[in-house]
Amino acid sequence: MAPNKALIFAKHPETFPVPGEHLIVKTTDFDLDASPPAGGLILKTNHISYDPYLRGKMKPPNPGSYTPGFEIGKPIYNNAISTVVASDNPRFKKGDVVIGYSNFEEYVKVPKERADKDQMAYSVGLSLLENSLGLDPKIFLGALGMSGLTAYSSLYEIGHPKKGQTIFVSAASGAVGQIVGQLAKREGLKVLGSVGSAEKLEFVTKRLGFDGGFNYKTEKPEDALKRLLKEVGSESIDIYYDNVGGEQLDASISLMTVFGRIVCCGSVSQTSKTQGERNLISNIGLVVGKRLTIRGFLVTDKDFASKYWEEHQTNVQKWIKEGNLTVKSSVTEGIDNGAEGFLGMLKGENFGKAILTIAEL
Amino acid sequence: MAPNKALIFAKHPETFPVPGEHLIVKTTDFDLDASPPAGGLILKTNHISYDPYLRGKMKPPNPGSYTPGFEIGKPIYNNAISTVVASDNPRFKKGDVVIGYSNFEEYVKVPKERADKDQMAYSVGLSLLENSLGLDPKIFLGALGMSGLTAYSSLYEIGHPKKGQTIFVSAASGAVGQIVGQLAKREGLKVLGSVGSAEKLEFVTKRLGFDGGFNYKTEKPEDALKRLLKEVGSESIDIYYDNVGGEQLDASISLMTVFGRIVCCGSVSQTSKTQGERNLISNIGLVVGKRLTIRGFLVTDKDFASKYWEEHQTNVQKWIKEGNLTVKSSVTEGIDNGAEGFLGMLKGENFGKAILTIAEL
pLDDT digits (tens, 9 = 90+) for B212-230: 999 999 999 999 999 999 9
Across the interface, whether the CB atoms of B280 and A285 are under 8 A apart is answered no
Give how far B150 is from chain A: nearest CA, Å: 12
Across the interface, whether the CB atoms of B266 and A288 are under 8 A apart is answered yes
Q: What is the pLDDT of residue B65?
A: 62
Q: What is the pLDDT of residue A1?
A: 87
| Per-residue pLDDT tens digits for B291-338 | 999 999 999 898 999 899 999 999 999 999 999 999 999 999 999 999
| pLDDT, mean of residues B92-111 | 97
| pLDDT, mean of residues B220-248 | 97
Give how far B206 is from chain A: nearest CA, Å: 31
Task: Round to the nearest angstrom and report the end-to-end CA distance of chain A.
Answer: 21
Residues facing A241 on adjacent strands: A169, A263
Across the interface, whether the CB atoms of A292 and B295 are under 8 A apart is answered yes
B66 pLDDT band, cuts 50/70/90, is: low
CB atoms within 10 A of CB B299: 24
- Three-state secondary-structure class, residue A124: coil
Across the interface, whether the CB atoms of A245 and B271 are under 8 A apart is answered no
Q: What is the pLDDT of residue A332?
A: 97
Q: What is the pLDDT of residue B46?
A: 98
**Going by DSSP bridges, is the β-strand pair B237-242/B293-296 parallel, antiparallel, or unpaired?**
unpaired
Nearest residue in chain A measured CA to CA from B295: A293
Distance of CA B61 to the CA centre of its chain: 22
B64 pLDDT band, cuts 50/70/90, is: low
Nearest residue in chain A measured CA to CA from B244: A285
Amino acid, single-letter form, for residue A146: M
User: To which H or E segment does residue B165 belong?
Assistant: none
Contact at 8 Å (CB) between B122 and B334? Answer: no
Phi, psi of B212, deg, nearest 5: -175, 160
Q: What is the pLDDT of residue B254?
A: 95
Give how far A88 is from chain B: nearest CA, Å: 38
- Residue B23 is classified by DSSP as E
Q: Is the pLDDT of residue B39 over 90?
A: yes
Phi, psi of A257, deg, nearest 5: -75, 155
Q: What is the pLDDT of residue B121?
A: 61
Across the interface, whether the CB atoms of B288 and A297 are under 8 A apart is answered yes
Residue A166, CA atoms < 13 Å, CB-side half-sphere: 23
B83 pLDDT band, cuts 50/70/90, is: very high
Largest Cα–Cα separation, chain A: 67
Distance CA B47, CA B19 (A): 20
Contact at 8 Å (CB) between A81 and A138? Answer: yes
Tens of each residue's pLDDT in chain A, 361 residues:
899 999 999 999 999 999 999 999 999 999 999 999 999 999 999 999 999 889 989 988 765 566 789 999 999 999 999 999 999 999 999 999 999 999 999 999 999 999 999 887 666 789 999 999 999 999 999 999 999 999 999 999 999 999 999 999 999 999 999 999 999 999 999 999 999 999 999 999 999 999 999 999 999 999 999 999 999 999 999 999 999 999 999 999 999 999 999 999 998 888 778 777 888 888 999 999 899 999 999 998 989 998 999 999 999 999 999 999 999 999 999 999 999 999 999 998 999 999 999 999 9
| pLDDT, mean of residues B230-252 | 96
Distance CA B133, CA B146 (A): 19
List the Cα angle B204/A289/B181 in 5-degree steps: 15
Distance CA A234, CA A226 (A): 9
Q: Which long-range contacts (CB under 8 A, 24 or more apart) does B216-220 make?
A: B216/B170, B216/B247, B216/B248, B220/B251
Residues facing A98 on adjacent strands: A82, A128
Mean pLDDT of chain B: 94
Q: What is the pLDDT of residue B40?
A: 97
Distance CA B153, CA A346 (A): 42
- Residue B336 is classified by DSSP as G
CA distances to A32, A41, A88, A129, A256 from A84, in Å: 12, 7, 11, 12, 50
Give how far A302 is from chain B: nearest CA, Å: 11
Q: What is the pLDDT of residue B308?
A: 95
**Going by DSSP bridges, is the β-strand pair A353-357/A329-333 parallel, antiparallel, or unpaired?**
parallel
- SS3 percent helix, strand, coil of chain A, rounded to 5, is 30, 25, 45
Q: What is the pLDDT of residue B275?
A: 74
User: In chain A, which residues touch B (CB < 8 A)?
Assistant: 56, 63-67, 235-236, 245, 249, 258, 264-267, 270-271, 275, 278, 280-282, 284-298, 301
Q: Please, what sign has the CA dihedral across residues B115, B120, B124, B127? A: positive
Provide CB contacts within 8 A for A155, sequence distance 6+: A161, A180, A183, A184, A239, A241, A263
Sort out which chain A residues have CB atoms less than 8 A from B67's CB and list them: 289
CA distances to A14, A147, B281, B339 from B272, in Å: 38, 42, 17, 15
Residues facing B294 on adjacent strands: A294, B262
Of A31, A24, A28, the C-alpha closest to A7 is A24
Distance CA B41, CA B36 (A): 5
Residue B350, CA atoms < 13 Å, CB-side half-sphere: 31
Q: What is the pLDDT of residue B118?
A: 86
For the whole model, what pTM was predicted?
0.91
Amino acid, single-letter form, for residue A170: S
Least confident of A71-75, B32-36, B72-76: B32-36
Distance CA A220, CA A226 (A): 10
Q: What is the DSSP annotation of B347-359? A: TT---SEEEEESS
Distance CA A269, CA A200 (A): 17
Sort out which chain A residues have CB atoms less than 8 A from B267's CB and list them: 284-285, 288
Of B145, B122, B123, the C-alpha closest to B135 is B145
Sort out which chain A residues have CB atoms less than 8 A from B265's CB and list them: 288
